[in-house]
Amino acid sequence: MQSLDRAHCEQLDRDDPLAFARDRFHLPEGVVYLDGNSLGALPKATAAHVDQVIRRQWGDDLITGWNTHGWVDLPKRLGAKLAPLIGASEDEVAVCDSTSLNVFKLLSAALSLRPKRKIILSDIGNFPTDLYMAQGLAQLLGRDHRLELVRPEQVLDRIHDDVAIVMLTDVDYRTGRRHDMAAINARARDVGALTLWDLAHSAGAMPVELDRHGCDFAVGCGYKYLNGGPGAPAFLYVARRWLGAAQQPLFGWFGHAQPFDFDTAYRPRDGIERYLVGTPSVIGMAALQCGLETFDGIDLGQLRAKSLALGDLMIRLVAQECGGTGLGLASPADGRQRGSQVSYGHNHGYPIMQALIARRVIGDFRAPDLLRFGFTPLYLRYQDIWDAVAVLKTVLAQEEWRRPEFNRRAAVT
Amino acid sequence: MQSLDRAHCEQLDRDDPLAFARDRFHLPEGVVYLDGNSLGALPKATAAHVDQVIRRQWGDDLITGWNTHGWVDLPKRLGAKLAPLIGASEDEVAVCDSTSLNVFKLLSAALSLRPKRKIILSDIGNFPTDLYMAQGLAQLLGRDHRLELVRPEQVLDRIHDDVAIVMLTDVDYRTGRRHDMAAINARARDVGALTLWDLAHSAGAMPVELDRHGCDFAVGCGYKYLNGGPGAPAFLYVARRWLGAAQQPLFGWFGHAQPFDFDTAYRPRDGIERYLVGTPSVIGMAALQCGLETFDGIDLGQLRAKSLALGDLMIRLVAQECGGTGLGLASPADGRQRGSQVSYGHNHGYPIMQALIARRVIGDFRAPDLLRFGFTPLYLRYQDIWDAVAVLKTVLAQEEWRRPEFNRRAAVT
């Protein structure tokens, strides 16, 4: 195979049909940001819009903003805006709370639909907070419910008629490996189990087809590929067939049929809004709205094609530039089985990542040994991948990671 | 009693030791804002601080902000900042999620401490979302737990040894009537019941003494008297004696002892942070921080004194100016039994409030017939009360509330 150089990458950028989207973001000079799968970059529109919401809507219009600026409808309006990114209908999605809390709501709803089944099935690669929420719910219920964990490749075979719900993250947060959503849904449907998909590393990174694949429930994160800002509100999806049938136990006034009647008895709303709980974060939603608008006019097929091309390029460049340095590809080489990231194992993964960050190539580290590089197609260039690999090559060749300052653990790694 | 006039009110403002605090807020010209108990006014510092967090912390520093800007500690840092306002120690308070969700967490924790008791006791005047969360929890548990509601004045007598937890809002959201926190805690302690206090209409409006009164648990709201902005994060309090003993069931990664170990099994943190769930809203917390800073250097005794003086003035002026107009005082006339609001019943309460708002006197309406006026001592003047009552007098005398546009219900009332 022909050796690649930076000029080749620059040519790919000139040919990139999504190159225009980079201008929608504020990106610090000299940084190669490969951590949009942990916290998306700042859209240029966000600060001004949030400022407007704070100064004009809240500051000038005070309490009347709930009506005059439609704050009260934000969870549903942003859900409708998000729906096309995940292959859902507008009435199946709401933006609210955190991913963790949304997992709790939807697991509870699913268990209420399968009262005789006790097993929540997941895999050991699922993101821990999803597993924790399942453990907390099972313990609270105290009726023999349990979370059963298998290896990712064992999931399909383990789906039997004792399983109430299969809870999986579509794209593994460490390796980027994708589950076969269609096959798992089909198998679950055959045995009467339900499915709950966590789209934290999917939504905004590639097209997702929740409706077409027959998913039952889904959750996802607003602050990764959706660019909603640190701790942005999350989202949830309930397939239309369950909207009326299922109920969740976090009865809050924003999920009440008539919240401003101030009844003492709870009656859920009809649609997706029964999954709302407390008063929604208007300022957080304002920022997320700008994140969602970075997808305006974006072709999701092109988004996926670029995401895979960036990953393929990274894999090829690391092989070309960093051979024999102890990096082991931890992600599927076949793009069809991979999300929008590439991870490498290395015995010194933690300090290597710190050394990269010191040189302004920002990825992240995931225990036990993974260097994780995420690709956000809206703002990453092919030349950025070249530059990142060049820095990685230097860090490894010069063993920069041996410096003491790169071997101290920070609170968030 | 001598008749009061506007000049008298202006003199009260000149003598007000808290008058300086009004300058900490952006208040729209010509508005008398008597709804800070529903949504606090915008602190002048908020927009610039949030802009800084968005542009500099998120925009420039990206994922590294979790460490470099201490985002990861915001729930605890803001909790510590809030603690003195509610008579708590710094390690007993965290800022997180919504009031509703925090009620769920603390009710669950309390029930786990009293496993043989099935009754959650509350009153029919409690804010509905608290009641809903209790109903949802009881239904989820399915083990004969139930929410029992009595009239507010019956609470004390109903606390027996079958009650697991007494859940009350300190200040009634409709009438402003206060419960006797010390007496109820004492009675609960005598029979082995626990207490959960909702401080939505107390925190920031008056001193609260959670520790001194022996409260077990408390929650409260960030967007009312704490001026955190629409949908601001809420707070929760756990008395130190329960910090290690009690557990809540919403097991999220921010409540894990070692979140970045990514264990598959949940282990709670030691302190108040075990009540955290998902990733906290950094932008929402940034706004709330500015709200909390409006209390810097404020004497809470003076705050309470002014709050009561404003309420007493309102009651006296309404009696003087609006006699015979059908307004019935729905709040305790005795300030010691009242929070920081005064409410009036009127057969045409809804359109009267709309007419007031059209004339830029902003209070709110609460079903079935209440006009609600809240007093935020930090930014309200005595002359504002005069002006509000003058407008109320006009609206009633001219029957402005009969206009059709004031009789259409909006989404949020």
Cβ distance of B98 and A100 shorter than 8 Å: no
Report pLDDT for B413: 57
**What one-character-per-residue DSSP string does A233-286 give?**
--EEEE-HHHHTT---S---GGGBSSGGG--SS--B-SSGGGG--S---HHHHH
* Tokens found for residue B223: 């967007």
User: Residue A159's pLDDT is what?
Assistant: 98
- Backbone φ and ψ for B32, nearest 5 degrees, come out as -105, 115
B355 inside domain: yes
**So what's the pLDDT on residue A280?**
96
Shared-domain flag, residues B305 and B360: yes
Query: What distance, in Å, lies between the first and last C-alpha atoms of chain B?
Result: 36
Q: B38 in a domain, yes or no? A: no
Nearest chain B Cα distance for residue A2, angstroms: 36
Q: Which of A306, A372, A375, A387 is catalytic?
A: A372
Q: Is residue A37 part of a domain?
A: no
Same domain, B142 and B228: yes
Q: Is the dihedral of CA B387, B389, B395, B401 positive or negative?
A: positive
Q: How many domains does chain A have?
A: 2
CATH number of the CATH domain containing A308: 3.90.1150.10
- Do B263 and B342 belong to one domain? no
Tell me: the pLDDT tens digits for B260-300? 889 999 999 999 999 999 999 999 999 999 999 999 999 99
- Cβ–Cβ below 8 Å for A50 and B55: no
User: Is there a domain that residue B382 lies in?
Assistant: yes
Residues of B whose CB is below 8 A from A151: none
Residues of A in Cβ contact (< 8 Å) with B223: 279
DSSP state of B4: P
Query: Do A71 and B229 count as a contact with CB atoms less than 8 A apart?
Result: no
Among A258, A293, A328, the domain boundary falls at A293
pLDDT of residue B411: 65
Chain A nearest C-alpha distance from B1 (Å): 36
Nearest to A58 among B62, B136, B230 (CB): B230
One domain, residues B100 and B144: yes
**Residue B299, Cβ neighbours under 10 Å: how many?**
13
DSSP B296: T
A contact test, residue of B104, B227, B283 with most A CBs within 10 A: B283
**To the nearest 5 percent, what fractions of chain A are helix, strand and coil?**
45, 15, 40
Q: Which of A319-328, B61-70, B269-278, B403-412 has the lowest mean pLDDT?
A: B403-412
Give the gap in angstroms from C-alpha A232 to the nearest C-alpha of chain B. Answer: 6
Count of A–B CB contacts within 8 Å? 287
The answer to whether residue B1 is domain-embedded is no
Give the residue from A293, A325, A352 where a domain finishes.
A293
Q: How far is CA A46 from the centre of its chain?
A: 19
Q: Which of B35, B1, B51, B41 is nearest to B21 (CA)?
A: B41
Instruction: Please write the tens of the pLDDT for every residue from B85-94.
Output: 999 999 999 9
Same domain? A285 vs A323:
no
Closest CA to B19 of B310, B412, B228, B322: B310
Q: Which residue type, as a one-letter code, is found at position B222?
A: G
The confidence score (pLDDT) of residue A411 equals 65
- Give the structural domain span for B131: 48-293
| pLDDT by 10s per residue, chain A, length 413 | 689 999 999 999 999 999 999 999 999 999 999 999 999 999 999 999 999 999 999 999 999 999 999 999 999 999 999 999 999 999 999 999 999 999 999 999 999 999 999 999 999 999 999 999 999 999 999 889 999 999 999 999 999 999 999 999 999 999 999 999 999 999 999 999 999 999 999 999 999 999 999 999 999 999 999 999 999 999 999 999 999 999 999 999 999 999 988 999 999 999 999 999 999 999 999 999 999 999 999 999 999 999 999 999 999 999 999 999 999 999 999 999 999 999 999 999 999 999 999 999 999 999 889 999 999 999 999 999 999 999 999 999 999 999 999 998 876 65
Instruction: Identify whether A393 is a catalytic site residue.
Output: no
Q: Are B120 and B148 in contact (CB under 8 A)?
A: yes
* A72 contacts B62? CB cut-off 8 A: no
Residue A272 located in a structural domain: yes
> A127 catalytic, yes or no?
yes
Residues of A in contact with B26 (CB under 8 A): 55, 59
Average pLDDT, chain B: 97
Find out whether A268 and A256 touch, Cβ atoms under 8 Å. yes
Note whether A153 and A278 are same-domain residues: yes
Query: Is A180 domain-assigned?
Result: yes
User: What pLDDT was estimated at residue B306?
Assistant: 98
A71·B230 Cβ contact <8 A: yes
Domain match, A356 and A287 both:
no
Q: Which residues on chain A are in Cβ contact (under 8 Å) with B104?
A: 250
The structure tokens listed for A328 are: 């082991």
Q: Which residues of B are catalytic?
A: 127, 198, 223-224, 372
Same domain, yes or no: B265 and B326: no
Residues B234 and B339 in one domain: no
- Note whether residue A42 is domain-resident: no
Interface-testing mutation among A99, A266, A285, with chain B (most B C-beta atoms within 10 A): A266
Residue at which a domain ends, from A293, A309, A341: A293
Q: Is the pLDDT of residue B409 over 90?
A: no
pLDDT (0 to 100) of residue B408 = 87
- On whether both A287 and A309 belong to a single domain, the answer is no
| CATH number, domain with residue B254 | 3.40.640.10
B262 to chain A: which residues are within 8 Å by CB?
128, 366-367
Q: What is the pLDDT of residue A202?
A: 98
Give the span between the Cα atoms of A377 and A10, in whole angstroms: 15
Q: Cβ A98–B252 below 8 Å, yes or no?
A: yes
Residue B170 sits in the same domain as residue B278: yes
Do residues B66 and B164 both lie within one domain?
yes
Contacts of B280 in chain A (CB under 8 A): 231
Per the CB < 8 Å rule, is A249 touching B62?
Answer: no
Quick check: B67 and A410 CB within 8 A? yes
Choose, out of A37, A67, A107, A140, the residue to mutate when testing the contact with B (most B CBs < 10 Å).
A140
Please name the residues in contact with A3: beta carbons below 8 A apart, sequence gap of 6 or more: A320
Asked whether the beta carbons of residue A253 and residue B287 sit closer than 8 angstroms, the reply is: no
Please judge whether A137 and B249 are an interchain contact, meaning their C-beta atoms are less than 8 angstroms apart.
Answer: yes
